[in-house]
A = this chain, B = another copy of it.
Amino acid sequence: MMLRTMADSARFIDGYLLYLLARASSVASAEFHEEVRRRGFNVSNWRVLAALKGSGGQTVGELAAVCLVNQPAMSKTVERLVRQGLVERRADVGDRRRVNVNLTGEGERTVDELISAAKAHQERLIEAIGPRETETLVAALHRVIERSGEG
């Protein structure tokens, strides 16, 4: 099967699924990141706080994997968030050798505010895509992610 657009377009990439995924991800994220910065917040910080929300704590390695950055970069971001009082490091209750990064009370309040903005932005995105199409989109994205065994 060829993607429908591949036959219509002169440029190879316009019908190339990996390019469309990268481009859609980039433009949609850039839009919300603009809003994050307007609120005086740092995009790397937002990503870490968002990854922690509801997670019950994550190691630096897990956060690096989730946020798609390398471990040294993630260590620095976590360090900065610790200094800002938004996260704290805590030994895991079940495994003392494991050190989790957790949101502080202040971190929870900050991320909740940003998540409200993220959800409002997402609503607008879903409206543009169409609610039914979005369900198919989300299912398809999950399948791509699970396929790689990284789901």
Instruction: Give the interface of A toward B (CB within 8 A).
Output: 1, 3-5, 9-13, 16-32, 50-51, 53-56, 66, 68, 115, 118, 122-123, 125-126, 128-131, 133-145, 147-148, 150
Min C-beta distance of A105 to chain B, whole Å = 17
Closest B residue to A122 using CB positions:
B17
Given contacts A11-B54, A138-B5, A138-B20, whether A28 and B118 have CB atoms under 8 Å apart is: no
Specify how many copies of this chain sit in the oligomer. 2
Closest B residue to A139 using CB positions:
B133
Given contacts A20-B145, A129-B143, A141-B21, whether A11 and B134 have CB atoms under 8 Å apart is: no
- The CA of A60 and the CA of B148, in the complex, are separated in Å by 33
The 10 A-B residue pairs whose C-beta atoms are closest, nearest first, are A12-B53, A27-B148, A21-B25, A24-B144, A136-B136, A24-B141, A137-B140, A20-B141, A25-B25, A10-B54
A-B contact pairs, 22 of them (CB 8 A): A3-B126, A3-B134, A4-B138, A10-B55, A11-B54, A13-B53, A16-B118, A17-B134, A17-B137, A18-B25, A18-B122, A19-B50, A21-B24, A22-B25, A23-B68, A27-B147, A28-B148, A128-B144, A129-B140, A129-B144, A130-B143, A137-B137
